[in-house]
Structure 1
Amino acid sequence: MKDVLLTILLCLFAIEVPADSWDEGNFKPYNTDVVLEKTNLPILFINTRDEAGHTTAIHKDYQVAVRMKIINNADGVNYGDTVAHSGQTTDYEGWVGIKYRGSSSFYDSDKKPYGFRTLKTADVNGKKEKVKLLGLPEDNNWVLLAPYHDRSLIRDPLVYQLSRPYFEFTPKCKFCEIIVDGIYYGVYILCEKPSKGKNRLNFTAPGDSGDELTGDYMVEIDRDNEPHFVLKYKMYDHDICAKYHFPDYEEISSEQMAYIKQRFDELEDVLNSDGFADKENGYSKYIDVENFINYQLLTEFCQNPDGYRLSTYIYKRRDSVDPRFKITPWDYNMTFGNNIAAGDFLYEQWVYEKGQKAGLLGKLPVPFWWKRLTEDEAYWKRMKERWAELRTSTLSDQHVTEMMDSLVNEVTIGGACERNYQAWPIWDKEIPLAPTTATNYDEEIALMREWTKKQVAWIDEQLGFDPTGIISIQNLPFVKRNDNDDWYDLQGRKFASKPTARGIYIHQGKIAGNQF
């Protein structure tokens, strides 16, 4: 019965897929004459041609087998002409099963993102091969983000770098430049995704009874375009959907489906009750409060209009390990003022409040949980404390500026940004939901910096944080002693080697962390 239902669902979803979900020419750039001579970024080659020279069309609905090669020389200089520069270091070469991915990032963007699996052979249904790519931990499930709506090119990597110490898993990523069948396609971001791998969330498959039934699971609050269940409480008569990710719909049993749905029902019932803040039987029994606060502050810091309601990955482990829901970060291309939907999503407003107002976000509102949580004095108090901690560490003005500078330098120093906008000249092009204020890259970055400054100042005011009270790390006495390879935490405790625990540390006079 479940197989029949899946077939029906897939047919229904297929009806909604626009005719342009694939293209014989594989969605070439506007300008196909850009030449990549050399770059500081790795170069990723995709070859869709068979031995007869025929091009294989990449699709969104299913994977096709293509060849992939990644060049990444140790000296940081990579050459696009692999014939003239035949001695380059090959980071990876082999078969991959590739497809287009994304929703708005696909349909509203001419520069298409990809998902791919590394394969042992040319059979997309055959064995996958776990590999390290560009130093990222071994896995076989990868994405290539295609910054188009994000004209800064850096929004996703910036948020991931800033948030990495505070979550069990935050995607690691690398900039690269892509050439498809000899044509330059621009700057992409090779990225991990929230998934089950041992180097990612390392899930254990659930069983059908006892403690094994209680985990592990991961769902995504998102659209209704894939198999999902509906949360118990609607917002303005709109369903809120949770897609199955682990186990996926083809593998999850009816007992497991019933369990995870029931667990969400229990959470929502508690949040909707008068005793929702009870210390023993309230919401803290069901959610990792610190994790939810970290996610909420991250969402508000960068004003993610998709936050809470789209691309929101929530997971739960077995009760014997941890019975509480947690969230992992994903999808930040529309952040830092880069969205004109729902009244512009500018600074000086909470995303969780604006996203709950009728009509502003169409049929995809924010679940009621987030507003409800802030009604608990203890939760709000901890949010204020946590914001102060973040503002004196990874979200300090100094550290945010350093991260922005580093990422901007990475995409500009070797000409990658310039080439990208030669291939995709979009500064005068109207892109769905994107502001059209900037006329060049420097202006885009300047606007992003100014927006961030205003947004942070507003949150400081709302949460009672005085930035004038921040002590520069350069004035901390133990930093002045830090002229060797020692590490210090923010209390001044010294570590002879890099700490293994997640957290914020000072190393050689700069903010660092064990997973930056």
Structure 2
Amino acid sequence: MMRPQFAFSGILIGLSVLVACKTDKKEEPNPETPEEVVFAVETGASQIPYLIIDTQGTDIKNEPKVSAELKIYVEKTPVQSAHIGIEYRGSTSFRLSDKKSYGIETWAEDGSDTQVSFFGLPEEEDWILMGHVVNEEEGYIFDRTLMYHQFGYQLFEAMGRYASRTEFVELQIDDDYKGVYVFMEKLKRDKNRIDIKKLEPGDVLADEITGGYILKIDKTAGGDLNINQPLEYFENNWEDDARYTEDISFRSYYDINGQPMAFDPYGEPYHANMYLETYFLYEYPKAAEITAAQKNYIQTYIRDFETALLADDFSTEVRTYTDFVDLSSFVDFFILNEVVRNVDAYRLSTYLYKDRGGKLNMGPVWDLNIGYDNGGRVPIDGWVINYNQYVGSDAWMVPFWWPRLMEDPVFRAAVKTRWTSLRGGTLSTVSLKAMVDATASYLLENGAVDRNYERWGKAIGVDYGASIASLKAYLEERTQWMDGQISAF
């Protein structure tokens, strides 16, 4: 049972990395005498990496990370081990899901960070074990195919953009089998991830202060607030999702309708006018490290871009907003999120970055578990950028940027050109369906689907074949609808 390979014509080169991302880089068995190990489940001859994390009896916390040992097996043979720190991750997903996600760091024996390569990926210390949201009490599963995250990231990478590299794994923590997970890169500044210049506190000169920066439009829970509370606190800390402060964020000068804000920022969580606001979180440099001068620079840059976007007369040839943004990155970000109908896009889990001397870029794409055929808040024949028209009561709404961009003939022409090219290869219906089939086959033939759903959602019931058929039908219908819309641009 080999990991799936792809050999499609046209521009669909590079998709041989799909599913396992490194199909030609199989781990070599450890030359030492294999230890006797008993997995929590029988995996047979599965080629999917099996991870065992030993916490030595220590309870995992939301933060800080606790010390543990990670061992990786392929076909029951140990191939790698590492000392790690592990913690729970996620805010809404942590509260909703019985199947938790984890953040891990690779540590030296003294507890300091050390860079390690897993599955042939570039060395780094920060990684994520992403679970799939399952709520057995309320009877729902966000992604029954187990592939929403991985599929979208691989598509974005095939489009020539960086996305978190992934590997399907099965996870066991101590003696508890946790099911199928996606092992993935955490988004951060790194030469092999978001490749921008390092910005030091002393970088304040005109040619230095321009980058690099990473911003995020998102909730404030997670690591933003550095909350030191017992684990039970995080099961119901909903207000922390909207606790924006001047230390960790800044607010757009304009509301979601493109009007200047008429009230002060940093109000109480979920105040009556919160839906009008868009906040940008400091992701890099971190909020604790970014200087006042650097904050002022990036805030001014965003405000100048937004002002230009609103002021430009789209009936003329002149554009000034494009002086501030890499338009091609906005186009690709739009296309990917619309194909997968990511209803969190643009308003949550949205990354932006700016390199030194460069323009503002959208991406990488992130957090795609509510979308595809499960993205019902936006109809299959509607744009996600028009989310505000479909959902009028959300605390987090889509910024004015995207409806405004759609009014611009220059943006629409760029989308049309790019879409036409991608539909000839990477985003063709044949290619999309083949990707789904190959991924599903890899998980099924190695028995991972059965093991996962034996552990999770038995009372809910999952017809995996029907879930895969639904995903393929959705992708065909969605892209055909987009064909009709974009052809009229």
Q: Give the alignment's TM-score, normalised by structure 1.
A: 0.73
1:366-410 C-alpha deviation (Å, 9 max, x unpaired): 010011011111211221121111111100011111111111111
Contact 1:194–1:313 (Cα < 8 Å) also in 2 = no
Q: Which moved more, 1:260-269 or 1:159-168?
A: 159-168
Structure 1 residues 444-455: aligned runs within 5 Å: 444-455=467-478
Q: Which residue of 1 aligns with 2:411?
A: 379
Change (3 A) 1:130 1:180: same
Q: Which residue of 1 aligns with 2:399?
A: 367
Query: For residues 132 and 346 of structure 1, what CA distance do their matches in structure 2 show?
Result: 41
Change (3 A) 1:410 1:61: same
Query: For residues 360 and 305 of structure 1, what CA distance do their matches in structure 2 show?
Result: 14
Query: For residues 71 and 193 of structure 1, what CA distance do their matches in structure 2 show?
Result: 22
User: Which residue of 243, 249, 266 corresponds with 2:281?
Assistant: 243
User: Unmatched 5+ residue regions in structure 1?
Assistant: 1-31, 50-54, 73-77, 80-87, 430-438, 466-516
1:245-287 C-alpha deviation (Å, 9 max, x unpaired): 1111111111111111111111111111143687665221111
Contact 2:217–2:349 (Cα < 8 Å) also in 1 = yes
Q: Which residue of 2 aligns with 1:195?
A: 188
Q: Which residue of 2 aligns with 1:422?
A: 454
2:463 partner letter = N
Q: Does 1:346 align with 2:379?
A: yes
Contact 1:143–1:191 (Cα < 8 Å) also in 2 = yes
Change (3 A) 1:361 1:137: farther
Q: Which residue of 2 aligns with 1:90?
A: 79
Change (3 A) 1:145 1:108: same
Query: For residues 196 and 321 of structure 2, what CA distance do their matches in structure 1 show?
Result: 24
The higher-RCO structure (CA 8 Å, 6+ apart) is 2
Q: Which residue of 1 aligns with 2:438?
A: 406
Q: Does 1:164 align with 2:164?
A: no
Query: For residues 103 and 361 of structure 1, what CA distance do their matches in structure 2 show?
Result: 20
1:330 partner letter = W
Q: Which residue of 1 aligns with 2:117?
A: 132
Change (3 A) 1:277 1:421: farther
- Amino-acid identity (%): 31
Structure 1 residues 223-262: aligned runs within 5 Å: 223-225=219-221, 226=224, 227-235=248-256, 237=273, 238-262=276-300
SS in 2 for 1:132: coil
Q: Give the alignment's TM-score, normalised by structure 2.
A: 0.77
1:15-58 C-alpha deviation (Å, 9 max, x unpaired): xxxxxxxxxxxxxxxxx975445422001110011xxxxx2111
Query: For residues 410 and 172 of structure 2, what CA distance do their matches in structure 1 show?
Result: 52
Contact 2:132–2:146 (Cα < 8 Å) also in 1 = yes
Query: For residues 57 and 298 of structure 1, what CA distance do their matches in structure 2 show?
Result: 38
User: Which residue of 108, 117, 128 corresponds with 1:120?
Assistant: 108
Alpha-carbon distance, 1:452 to partner: 1.4
Contact 1:276–1:282 (Cα < 8 Å) also in 2 = no
Change (3 A) 1:101 1:277: farther
Query: For residues 446 and 167 of structure 2, what CA distance do their matches in structure 1 show?
Result: 15
Q: Which moved more, 1:326-335 or 1:109-118?
A: 326-335
1:121-166 C-alpha deviation (Å, 9 max, x unpaired): 252xxx2111110111111110011023211101111111122133
Change (3 A) 1:361 1:380: farther
Number of equivalent positions: 398
SS in 1 for 2:177: strand
Alpha-carbon distance, 1:361 to partner: 5.4
Alpha-carbon distance, 1:324 to partner: 3.4
Q: Which moved more, 1:94-103 or 1:296-305?
A: 94-103
SS in 1 for 2:208: helix
SS in 1 for 2:216: strand
Query: For residues 73 and 469 of structure 2, what CA distance do their matches in structure 1 show?
Result: 32
Q: Which moved more, 1:137-146 or 1:281-290?
A: 281-290
Change (3 A) 1:426 1:363: farther
Let me know the Cα RMSD of the aligned residues: 2.1
Alpha-carbon distance, 1:66 to partner: 1.0
SS in 2 for 1:387: helix
Change (3 A) 1:194 1:420: same
Structure 1 residues 23-172: aligned runs within 5 Å: 34-49=41-56, 55-72=57-74, 78-79=75-76, 88-91=77-80, 93-121=81-109, 123=111, 127-148=112-133, 149-172=142-165
2:59 partner letter = A
Query: For residues 169 and 90 of structure 2, what CA distance do their matches in structure 1 show?
Result: 19
SS in 2 for 1:328: coil
Q: Which residue of 1 aligns with 2:344?
A: 306
Query: For residues 428 and 360 of structure 2, what CA distance do their matches in structure 1 show?
Result: 30
1:90 partner letter = V
Query: For residues 319 and 459 of structure 2, what CA distance do their matches in structure 1 show?
Result: 53
Query: For residues 325 and 279 of structure 1, what CA distance do their matches in structure 2 show?
Result: 23
Query: For residues 208 and 152 of structure 1, what CA distance do their matches in structure 2 show?
Result: 48
1:215 partner letter = G
